[in-house]
Structure 1
Amino acid sequence: MGKLQSKLKHSTYKYSRPDGIIEERIQTKACLEYGPAHADSVSVVAALNSDLCVSGGKDKTVVAYNWKSGDVVKRFRGHEREVTKIACIHGSSLFFSASRDRTARMWDLRGPAQPRQQFSGHAMVVTGLAVSPDSSQLCTGSRDNTLLLWDVGTGQCMDRASISRNLVTHLCWVPQEPYVLQTSEDKTIRLWDSRGLQVAHVFPAKQHIQTYCEVSEDGHKCVSCSNGFGGEGCEATLWDLRQTRNRICEYKGHFQTVASCVFLPRALASMPIIATSSHDCKVKIWNQDTGACLFTLSLDGSGPLTSLAVGDTISLLCASFNKGIHLLRVERSRGLELQEVAAF
């Protein structure tokens, strides 16, 4: 399936000038319309490499998609309900999916379209999925208040931990460390030591449900985001993972739940920057150090934005409830701007 058409799209965005004045501009551009990756809402997208992404959604499928050519590479079926999370082993053909069917599965892009391994042990929807840096272990979390640690090679459960009211919303593994970061509906962020699956640290509780988390490439910082409505909550928070583990900065400006947050490549700007996506149909770029919003792109009509992933050094992939996956490009000719260049 190649691109279907190219059409002009109009979008409104806000741009922060160097002098601090925020301007509202109208952007008109040609946006490629590729064949859709999914037949229904997309819940999650993750980058497998600089050409391929893996996504999952309400149609119960996992799809490997070449977002540069607009082609479905392979479609994987096996889950009985909506796919909720994806975790990739970068530099390989292997990736994992989690689902409302209470299972996680491992897939191989180079193998058959059947799961290579299945991980069954949760009593409710699997809402967290993280693979260890050496790819030997998988950690899953669920609304059943439990975390499970799995041996990837055998599919056997190695360890289990349960905390009352710890409804897991997301998991990510700290690079080059035995630690797993976890967000929860109980408004806390926990750092787990995978060696025995014990809580190593609990961050100061927030006022709203924590929906997502990501760790910086160097493993020194993490960012989490919050649910909310009408501008209350609806924020992202930067934390220190090294010594104090205190809140460093907050990023406020969304008007509905912030569903995803990512660290952007350092090559993009002279300052460290992060990006967030929200149910308010907006993607924002922030100065990581000051909390200033540098750019806001509105993807009108897309419905809630559900997931955000770094595609390559200048590209972001944004999953949405109504219009599939958006390919966004960071332009630096007039400062930092986001442009939608394709949708699929």
Structure 2
Amino acid sequence: MLLLRCRLKRALPQKVSCRFCPVMGKLQSKFKHSTYKCSRPDGFIEERIQTKAFQEYSPAHVDTVSVVAALNSDLCVSGGKDKTVVAYNWRTGNVVKRFKGHEREITKIACIYKSSQFFSASRDKMVMMWDLQSSSQPRQQFSGHTMVVTGLTVSPDSSQLCTGSRDNTLLLWDVGTGRCAESASVSRNLVTHLCWVPQEPYVLQTSEDKTIRLWDSRGLQVAHTFPTQQHIQTHCAVSEDGHKCVSCSSGFGGEGCGATLWDLRQTRNRICEYRGHFQTVASCIFLPRALASMPAIATSSHDCKVKIWNQDTGDRSSTSKMQIPIHSET
């Protein structure tokens, strides 16, 4: 009698960086497949083929892409470890323009949506303003932080820029003059992300001290501090109507590794929790209604998955087909 061994044999897929990079060249439809063996209930072992279709792009950066932001419906802006900022038309697969000026890796990008202007922050402690319709030189430079800039957001009217850093400070800038208008510092407030509340003078901020803060840009004072969380808060986002915000956390093995929805009008209690990742959740966003049939939130994690959640219930069962595995480098 033959001894059947039920052992999973799965071919490793082609390596793809988990640092998602949509700034590439011409779109090419590719079909990749991997094979694995599995045991059927009747005892036979059969080989199955798993096929995946995806689009492959030619790199616009020569090193890791660290951040991507939308400039308009056709163009996105990316920054990378190669110290460059790239404007890219993802519909045509063409690089529109390259911008060089930073001396170290780009950490954040903030765009003035539906315009030609955007900002980049870097590990060189600098923030620069660029204009797609002018030269490749920075239009404005903002120098004031003493450590890497890890937070960057622009006001709804584009007149002010707020930056945060691992130096525990937030700086508020006049975009037109490039001068620092306000400065604030909170002990151990290692900023991880900033986002401006639409149509409001408030800035939402996450930190490595496990705290989420809401700042009033009129004097740059803390307007509200959310209940301290159990894990580092890595990223935050605000809904288009400015009524809700979401933050996400670090973690490992399923501990932490989640996102939390808050109501900015009733900030004492959380609305919903989104649990299901197994490693640090690196970013979170509110999905536009055009991309989802219901109010939805997307999260991306170091576990190499992007997940879509029902904003109101925290349920992902109805959107399980939208989970996107991203293969990491080994």
Query: Taking structure 2 as the reference length, what is the TM-score of the superposition?
Result: 0.85
After alignment, is 261-270 or 47-56 more displaced?
Answer: 261-270
Aligned partners of 1:57 and 1:268: how far apart in 2? 27
For residues 40-119 of structure 1, the aligned pairs below 5 Å read 40-119=63-142
Number of residue pairs matched by the alignment: 291
Structure 2 contact 104–123 (Cα < 8 Å) conserved: yes
2:8 — aligned with what? none
1:121 matched to 2:148: no
Gaps of 5+ in 2: 1-23, 36-48
Shift of 1:5: 4.3
Counterpart in the other structure of 1:156 = 179
CA spacing shift, 1:155–1:10, aligned 2, 3 Å: farther
In the alignment, what sits opposite 1:204? 227
Larger mean CA deviation between 46-55 and 33-42 belongs to 33-42
Equivalent-residue separation in structure 2 for 1:302 and 1:236 (angstroms): 25
2:63 equivalent to 1:36: no
Shift of 1:220: 0.2
Which residue number corresponds to residue 300 of structure 1? Answer: 327
Return the alpha-carbon distance in structure 2 between the equivalents of residues 279 and 244 of structure 1. 28
How far off is 1:27 after superposition? 6.6
* Structure 1 pair 188–291 and aligned structure 2 pair: CA distance change class (3 A): same
Give the 3-state SS of the residue equivalent to 1:68 in structure 2: coil
1:283 aligned onto 2:306: yes
1:232 to 255, 260, 272: 255
1:131 aligns with 2:158: no
Give the match for residue 335 of structure 1. none
1:230 Cα offset (Å):
1.0
In structure 2, distance between residues paired with 1:111 and 1:277: 34
**Which residue of structure 1 lines up, in the alignment, with residue 193 of structure 2?**
170
Residues in 2 aligned to 1:51 and 1:118: alpha-carbon distance in whole angstroms: 26
Deviation sequence 1:164-218 (CA, Å, 0-9, x none): 0000000000000000000000000000000000000000011000000000000
> Which amino acid in structure 2 is aligned with residue 63 of structure 1?
V
Larger relative contact order, structure 1 or 2 (CA cutoff 8 Å, min sep 6): 1
Q: Note the C-alpha offset of 1:48.
A: 0.5
Q: Give the match's secondary structure for 1:246.
A: strand
Q: 1:146–1:166: 8 Å Cα contact kept in structure 2? A: yes
Q: Indicate conservation of the 8 Å contact 1:3/1:32, yes or no.
A: no
Distance 2:31 2:110 in 1: 34
1:260-271 matched pairs, under 5 angstroms: 260-271=283-294
Alpha carbons 1:281, 1:302 under 8 Å: kept? no
Deviation string 1:133-153 (CA, Å, 9 cap, x unpaired) is 000000000000000000000
Partner of 2:38: none
| C-alpha separation in 2, matches of 1:204 and 1:33 | 43
Q: Report the residue type matching 1:142 in the other structure.
A: S
* Residues 269 and 27 (structure 1), Cα distance of their counterparts in 2 relative to 1, 3 Å cut: farther
Mind listing any 5+ residue stretches in structure 1 that lack a counterpart?
Answer: 13-25, 304-344
Matched to 1:209, the amino acid is I
Write the distance in 2 (CA, Å) between the matches of 1:234 and 1:170.
17
How has the CA–CA distance of structure 1 residues 9 and 302 changed in structure 2, closer, same or farther, with 3 Å as cutoff?
farther
Higher strand share: 1
Measured at CA, do residues 302 and 236 of structure 1 come closer, stay the same or move farther in structure 2, by a change above 3 Å?
farther
- Fraction of identical pairs, as percent: 82
Amino acid at match of 2:131: D
Q: What letter is aligned with 1:193?
A: D
* TM superposition shift of 1:259: 0.6
Cα offset, 1:4, TM superposition: 7.0
